[in-house]
Every structure is written in structure tokens, then in C-alpha cells.
Homo-oligomer: A and B are copies of this chain.
Amino acid sequence: MAGEVRQLDDRKLAVLRAIVQDYVGTEEPVGSKALVERHSLGVSPATVRNDMAALEEDGYIHQPHTSAGRIPTDKGYRLFVDRLAEVKPMSAPERRAIRHFLDGAVDLDDVVARTVRLLAQLTRQVAVVQYPSLSRSTVRHIELVALAPVKVMLVLITNTGRVEQRMMDCPGPVGETLLADLRARINAHAVGQRLPEVPGLLEELPAGFEAADRPAVVTVLATLFEALAEQNEERIMLAGTANLTRFGHDFPLTIQPVLEALEEQVVLLRLLGETGDAGMTVRIGRENAYEGLNSTSVVSVGYGSGDESVAKLGVIGPTRMDYPGTMGAVRAVARYVGQILAES
């Protein structure tokens, strides 16, 4: 008995899979007859119809109107992604092309720019790449420069190639020797450390200086800590908005809120922020917290220079998207960007 029940369920799942695949391809509600013709399900349309009725009752598919074919619901796509689809790996030539394209990058900006364009092109959707965030990266070097007697510039360089600078006004003149001393001591403690951990390591530093120098030292450290903590600076790059035109027929209505969402860095950051740290995250339709993206799906994943992810990237497309292909592209691109970052 149990065996037969499972057998039944298997076929229903096969039907659902077929519906998703067909609908993604044709963009039109798919009926029982067309299904059996295109997929070798080994049963008659009538049987498929019964299965469809069951699937509809369970909320996996939906009928726009009586006497029309079926369309997968968000729940249907969810099941498809979770249990029915396999991430489609990139072909060897594709992988080579990705690798080659990213290899040409000259600096961090360029890496991000190339990545986002590549992703948009591969998936033919809207691509989003977050700059490697400061908090996950480590210090490569910290530089102090006296621009004027009391004006000091601080430059923070991270292992991901990001450069952050800050101006500050010290409470009094700062000598070149003091600055050199301070620079050396800061770097001795901070280089190679995670950004969020640096403040803790430098806590004792002012005590090692002459009392007269301490105000200046404190000012510099305060500015440094501020730069380290600056989370607002998380930036995002976008590409492929032109692909929005292929979104669907009821076009202007769908596209408007999406464009609005894309304009809001905050929304995009939150969107990527919801990406789990391990593995790929797929948010389908109404699963997205942001209302304007309720008719889109977001496929995102972390990427990083080592084992650990320092930032996220992903694509935004219609719920009716090619999930296996998109997921394959996203995963491949994330992997290669990670490699590039690790090498540089």
C-alpha cells in the first residue's frame, strides 16, 4: 500500500515538474493534453487531469480561469526548487568564458563591475552584486598622512582591495615622528586582523604614549574605529535592468515596483542580507519581504575570497524563471569571483 501511495505521489511530482518546465518555457498556462504530448509521462491526459486537480487542491498550481491550463503557484515553484530541480552546472566552455572574463579585471571596482554584468548576461535577468563588506574582511594596511599641522588623513586598505579614507582634525599639531610611531604600532597590531576585532586589539594603545600625545592618538583611533564600524558604506552594483522588459505581458504594472525597489540600495541590501550564509537562497514571489518584489524571485548566494563569504550576489527575475539554470549560473559566478578575490 505504502508503495502504491508513493508511486502516486511520484507521478504527481512529475506532473508538477513538467508543468513548471513547460510554463517557464512557453509562458502560457499548460493543459493536460500538451503535457502528455511533450513529456513522456506514460499516462493519458485524463489521468494527468486528476493529478492536476489534486495538485490544485493542495495549492501547488492554479487556474487563471475555468477552461484554461494551469500555472504554478509560489508554493509550486517552492516545491520544484526544493525537491524536483537539480542545479544545472555550467558547461566547460561556459566556465572557461566566465573565468576568462573575470580574469581581466584590474581592481576591486572592476571585479564587481565585471561580475555583475556577467551575471546579468548569463541569466538574462537583473543581477545584483554587493561589494565585499568591510566587516568580514581583514586589514591589509593602515596609513596616516599629515595634510596640514592638525589635519590628518587616514587610509584603510582591506584584503579585498577596498580602500576607505577619512579626514580628521586633531586637537593639536601632530609631529611626523609621532605619526610614524603611531602608524607603526597600529599596523603591528591590526594587519591581518578582522575589521571588527581591531578596536579590541588597540584598546591599550594610548597608554603607551606620552600624556601630551594622547589626545591626538585618541582622535586618530576614534576615527579609525568609526571607519571600521561603518556599515552604511555597504554598496551594491546593479546590471541587466533592460532584461526587465522580458518580464511578462502585464508589464507596466509588474515592472514599476521592481524598478522602484532597485533604486533603493537599502531594499537591495536587506534582500541580500536575508541570504543564508551557507548555500544558495531562493526567495520565491511572496516569500520576499519587500512588497514590490512579490512577483519576482531572488536567487542569491554568498561569495568570498576563502572559505568564508564576505559579501552576497544574486539575480532578480520573474517567479517564472529557469531555476536550475539561474542557480547554476549564480553558483558558478560566485565561485569564480571568490577565486579571483583570493588571488589578488
A residues sitting closer than 8 Å to B (CB atoms) are 140-141, 143, 145, 147, 153, 155, 157, 163, 165, 239-242, 244-245, 251-252, 255-256, 259-260, 262-263
Are B245 and A263 neighbours in the complex by a CB distance under 8 Å? no
**How far apart sit A242 and B256, CA to CA, in the bound complex (Å)?**
6
**How far apart sit A140 and B241, CA to CA, in the bound complex (Å)?**
38
Residue of B145, B239, B262 touching A143 (CB-CB under 8 A) = B145
* Chain B residues, Cβ within 8 Å of A140: 147
> How many Å from the CB of A24 to the closest CB on chain B?
20
* Chain B residues, Cβ within 8 Å of A155: 143, 145, 153, 155, 165
Are B263 and A244 neighbours in the complex by a CB distance under 8 Å? no
- Supposing A143-B143, A145-B143, A165-B155 touch, asked if A241 and B263 sit within 8 A by C-beta, the answer is yes
> How many Å from the CB of A138 to the closest CB on chain B?
14
> How many Å from the CB of A270 to the closest CB on chain B?
18
* Chain B residues, Cβ within 8 Å of A165: 155, 163
Residue of B145, B240, B251, B259 touching A252 (CB-CB under 8 A) = B251
Residue on B nearest A143 in the bound complex, by CB: B145
Apart from A145-B145, A242-B256, A242-B259: 10 A-B pairs, beta carbons within 8 A: A141-B153, A143-B153, A143-B155, A145-B155, A153-B155, A163-B165, A242-B263, A245-B256, A251-B251, A251-B252
**How far apart sit A336 and B140, CA to CA, in the bound complex (Å)?**
39
Residue of B163, B242, B262 touching A260 (CB-CB under 8 A) = B242
Are B255 and A240 neighbours in the complex by a CB distance under 8 Å? no
* Chain B residues, Cβ within 8 Å of A153: 141, 143, 155, 157
> How many Å from the CB of A333 to the closest CB on chain B?
18
> How many Å from the CB of A117 to the closest CB on chain B?
8
> How many Å from the CB of A56 to the closest CB on chain B?
31
> How many Å from the CB of A75 to the closest CB on chain B?
29
* Chain B residues, Cβ within 8 Å of A240: 263
> How many Å from the CB of A198 to the closest CB on chain B?
17
Are A255 and B263 neighbours in the complex by a CB distance under 8 Å? no
**How far apart sit A102 and B38, CA to CA, in the bound complex (Å)?**
60
* Chain B residues, Cβ within 8 Å of A143: 143, 145, 153, 155
**How far apart sit A10 and B214, CA to CA, in the bound complex (Å)?**
76
- Supposing A140-B147, A145-B155, A157-B153 touch, asked if A245 and B252 sit within 8 A by C-beta, the answer is yes
* Chain B residues, Cβ within 8 Å of A252: 245, 251
**How far apart sit A244 and B256, CA to CA, in the bound complex (Å)?**
8
Residue of B141, B145, B241, B245 touching A241 (CB-CB under 8 A) = B241
**How far apart sit A163 and B162, CA to CA, in the bound complex (Å)?**
13
Residue on B nearest A244 in the bound complex, by CB: B259
**How far apart sit A240 and B241, CA to CA, in the bound complex (Å)?**
13
**How far apart sit A251 and B245, CA to CA, in the bound complex (Å)?**
9
**How far apart sit A256 and B143, CA to CA, in the bound complex (Å)?**
46
**How far apart sit A242 and B257, CA to CA, in the bound complex (Å)?**
8
> How many Å from the CB of A64 to the closest CB on chain B?
21
* Chain B residues, Cβ within 8 Å of A259: 241-242, 244-245
6 pairs of A and B residues whose beta carbons are closest in the complex: A242-B259, A245-B256, A242-B260, A143-B145, A141-B147, A241-B259
